[in-house]
Every structure is written in structure tokens, then in C-alpha cells.
Amino acid sequence: MSQHPILIQGGMGAGVSSWRLANAVSRTGQLGVVSGTALEVILARRLQDGDPGGHMRRALDDFPFPRMAEQVWKTYYIPGGKAELASYRATPMHARVNSRELNELTIVANFVEVWLAREGHNNPVGINFLEKIQHPHLPAILGAMMAGVGYVLMGAGIPIKIPGVLDAYANMQPATYPLYVSGAQDGDDCMMRLDPREYMDSTLPPLRRPYFLAIIASNTLATTMVRKANGRVDGFIIEGPSAGGHNAPPRGKLVLNEKGEAVYGERDRVDLAKIREGGLPFWLAGGYGSPEMVAQALASGAAGVQVGTAFAYCEESGLREDYKQRLRDKAREGTIEVFTDPVSSPTGFPFKAALLEGTASDREVYLARPRICDIGQLRESYRKPDGSIGYRCSSEPVSIYLSKSGTVEETVGRKCLCNSLLANIGHQQVRAGKHIEPGLVTSGDDLVAIGRFMPKDGTAYTAASVVEQLMSGVPAECESEKAEVADVVSSTI
Ligand SMILES: Cc1cc2nc3c(=O)[nH]c(=O)nc-3n(C[C@H](O)[C@H](O)[C@H](O)COP(=O)(O)O)c2cc1C
């Protein structure tokens, strides 16, 4: 019998898995997950939009240290919201060593998102991070744990050092995280450090250690996690290449199909028998958004499934309403296409995008946007000739990237995911009062099938209706097990 939920709503960045979506899913007794990506930027922009509904204020009021919460409020809140064509104030960019101000903003932002997702029910809530976005890890995880996050889920990299961070914070001890620095030499200090006690204005009750689920796409990574992680790994999410967001690159030499997408083959299949032998619970992700696939996953020994795309287009998701509606319409008409772009992401990982006019999936829209890097979540750290650490993004202006020892090949076809993803959730930057950042909607291949969740008389559907439909694939004997354990989970998490 597993003490974990069967259904995990995938963490979808940035802000698509908002607190509202995670709250709606966790209320059903399944696991709602907030995206932890760029939450400090999202909170700052929500406040500059005037905090509609007063939700940020409500969560800030419960932040244990009023001085820190007030500082964030004072810095970013604009009563009534900024003018539509005014620019958002920039937030500082992360680096190996952050200013105290940025660490506080990041701690508070992660607290707020998890706090709101947990509000009004007793079920666990998770937070999703990408390992590749390393700079914010230490303050972000601390903020999420201060709000009582029940699960930390992390993919897009090899998160072997995350369990140690969770353990350190649970013991109120300083945490460290090794930053990947391109070209680093022996003796370089590449460590990020954060002592939680330096951010506590008063003593807090002990923080609970959340479960840690690693998102993986290969047996090798599962083995590495178990053998090399610096603390407990509680399970795996095994994500296939049809999943939305970033995908693990295919193994071996990159082969493209006639549309220019990365091709996955036999070597990319995960051997579930080997995963089962490891004994840890696992969830399957990527195309599991139907009752039949839920049943199939459980029959294969999985503890459940993680589903993203079906939730991305439901009422509570953070995706902006106009994109959501147009994509639901296209899905219903059968005219939607999803393209797995091998180069658009500065991470170098394939990134899926729904083809939608007016967004950066449209070549003309992409080419019309001057390159600019002013959010910097995906910046890579590199060793400068003087031995210090510099930061660069292959989507920034090419001349600047080259001046930082980047290569021109690295810049080809790169898109600014930071600005696009914030535009997707209605926080598009406006420059010089007229240039409005376009979005770029990432989606799983399952987008073509979301019609199954839409009612006959319209296209909008709720997160609870997705949960209900997916859970109808769970055999009755698993359901009764879950009913028994639901109480255990809610009383301990
Ligand atoms: C819009 C969108 C954004 C996503 N962003 C992330 C992310 O930031 N981090 C992550 O680990 N997974 C991300 N994913 C993957 C989901 O968490 C989930 O694993 C995946 O959607 C499951 O496959 P499905 O899309 O076929 O349901 C994203 C998926 C979507 C649809």
C-alpha cells in the first residue's frame, strides 16, 4: 500500500501550475503541484498589477517575519496596478552569491505560492523545480519549506544534491549547492550557500522534510540518483518525450525527422522492470492523461501518473485566458500542432511548443523581437579569464554572448523563454510603451486530445473534472486503499 497520491498534477512553468491550480487539485485528495520557476519575478509582477483579489497580501500577512514581507510589498506593490503599457520594474538576476534583497524576495515568493496552494484544505501540495535553473535553489526551497510543502519534484538535470538541502533545512542547518560553472578549474569556489538562521527574524518551529521525487527519463539516471544522492530519494517520475515543457535529449547522435524535431528511439525507453526492482514508488508521465492510460500505468506497477497538458488548459491554470481559449478551440477543431524544437531553449534541451499565431512559435514574431536578456533564469555560469564567475544566456544579444566566450553556433534559433513564459501567464513585459513581449506556449503532444475534457456545450473545464475523469481509470481495489491512506497523509503532512 502506498501512502502517496495516485495522480500528480505536473509542475508547469512558469506560473501555469499556479497556486490556484495546485489548490484545486490538492482539494480533491490528489497531488497539486506549483511550479517553482521564476516565482520571485511572478510575485513582483502580480504586485505591480495591483494584486487583484488580494491573494498575495493574504499570504504575505501569514509570512512569519513581517519585516521581510513588508519590504517586498513596499518595493513592488502598485495600488490599482501599473498602466497597461507601462513596463514592469526589473527584479535582480540571480548569481552564485545573491544580494540579501533577492534571497528574501525568493524566499517570500516561494512561501506565498505554496501557502496559497495549501489554503483551505489539509492535503499535501508539491513544488516543481528544474535542476538546470540552479541559482535560486537555496532560497526557493527554504521559502517552500517554510510554507509546509509536502513534496519537492525536480527534473531537467541530475538533482543528486537536493535531498541534502532538504535535510539541512529540516535541521535548520546551513545548506550548500554546487553550481555548475562552465570551464571551472580546481580550487574555484563554485558553491552556493545559505544559512536559514540568517533569514529568521525569530525562531520557527522545525521545518518538515518534504518527500523528494526525481523526474527522470532513463534507467541510468534512476540508478545514479539512488547511488549518489546525498540523502533520501522518495520516488521517481518517469517522463517520456511526449510530455510538455522541456524533454530529456534523445540518447546517442541527434537525429531529426522531416519537420526538424528530435527523434526518440528504443534507447530512450525506460525499462520499468528495472525500476520496479529498485523498490521505490514511481509515476509515469507523458501522455498519461486518460483513464485508460492511468489504468495501464497502475497495471505496470506504477504508483500513479503525473499529468500536465490536460491541466494546463483547465480553468484554474495560470495560462492566460486568450491563449487557453484559442488552443482549446484549435484542439477541438483538430487544427492544433505541437512542435518539439531541438534548439529554442537556451538549456539545449528539446522544448515543445504549440503552434499559435502571434506567439514566438510564429517565425515572423520570433524574428521581429530584438534579443534582450533581463530576467536571466536560464543564464549559464562560466569561468571568466580572471577566474571569477560570469553569466551568459545563448538567447541574449549575440554580440554580448560572444563577448562572454560564447559561440555563435550556440545562439542559432534560441528563444527567450523567460520573457515568453511570463507573457504566457499575462505578465508580458512592455518596452518603451509599445513593444509587448510575445508568449510561447509549451505543451505536451496530448494537447490534441484535450477535447475529452471539454463539455459538449463549451470548451472550459475544471481541474476537478480532469481529476474525476482520470481517477475513473483507477481499479476499485486501488481506490479503497487510497481512501484509507488519505487520512494518514493529511494528518502527517
Ligand atoms: C505547459 C507545461 C509546462 C511544463 N513545465 C514544466 C516545468 O517547468 N518543469 C517540469 O519538470 N515539467 C514541466 N512540464 C511537464 C509536466 O510537469 C508533466 O510531467 C507533463 O506535462 C506530463 O505529460 P503530459 O503533458 O503528456 O501530461 C510542463 C508541461 C506543460 C504542459
Mean pLDDT, the chain, whole residue set:
93
387, part of any domain: no
206, part of any domain: yes
Q: What share of the chain is helix, strand, coil (3-state, %, to 5)?
A: 40, 15, 50
pLDDT the model gives residue 485: 38
42, part of any domain: yes
459, part of any domain: yes
pLDDT the model gives residue 156: 84
Of residues 59 and 250, which shows the higher confidence score?
59
53, part of any domain: yes
Per-residue confidence band for 457, with pLDDT thresholds at 50, 70 and 90: confident
User: 244 is in which domain, residue-wise?
Assistant: 7-319+450-492
pLDDT the model gives residue 2: 59
391, part of any domain: no
Say whether pLDDT at 483 is over 60.
Answer: no
* 360, 369 contact by CB (below 8 A): yes
282-331 per-position pLDDT tens digit = 999 999 999 999 999 999 999 999 999 999 999 999 999 999 999 999 99
Distance (Å) from CA 479 to ligand 1 centroid: 25
Distance (Å) from CA 12 to ligand 1 centroid: 5
310, part of any domain: yes
1-10 per-position pLDDT tens digit = 458 999 999 9
Report the domain count for the chain: 1
Residues in contact with ligand 1 by the CB-under-6-Å rule are: 10-13, 16, 35, 37, 128, 130, 155, 215, 239, 242-245, 285-287, 289, 306-309, 312, 442-444, 446
| Interacting residues of 169 by C-beta distance below 8 A, sequence separation 6+ | 141, 142, 145, 175, 196, 207, 209
Query: What's the mean pLDDT in 269-289?
Result: 94
Which CATH number covers residue 260? 3.20.20
Say whether pLDDT at 456 is over 90.
Answer: no
The DSSP string of 51-105 is -GGGHHHHHHHTSS-HHHHHHHHHHH--TT---TTSPPPPPPPP-SS--HHHHHH
Rounded to two decimals, the pTM is 0.94
24, part of any domain: yes
92-146 per-position pLDDT tens digit = 999 999 999 999 999 999 999 999 999 999 999 999 999 999 999 999 999 999 9
> Which atom of ligand 1 approaches the CA of 289 most closely?
27
464-477 per-position pLDDT tens digit = 999 999 999 999 87
pLDDT the model gives residue 1: 40
* 223, 160 contact by CB (below 8 A): no
The single-letter code of the amino acid at 474 is V
Residue with cell 515568453: 420
Distance (Å) from CA 417 to ligand 1 centroid: 15
* 201, 70 contact by CB (below 8 A): no
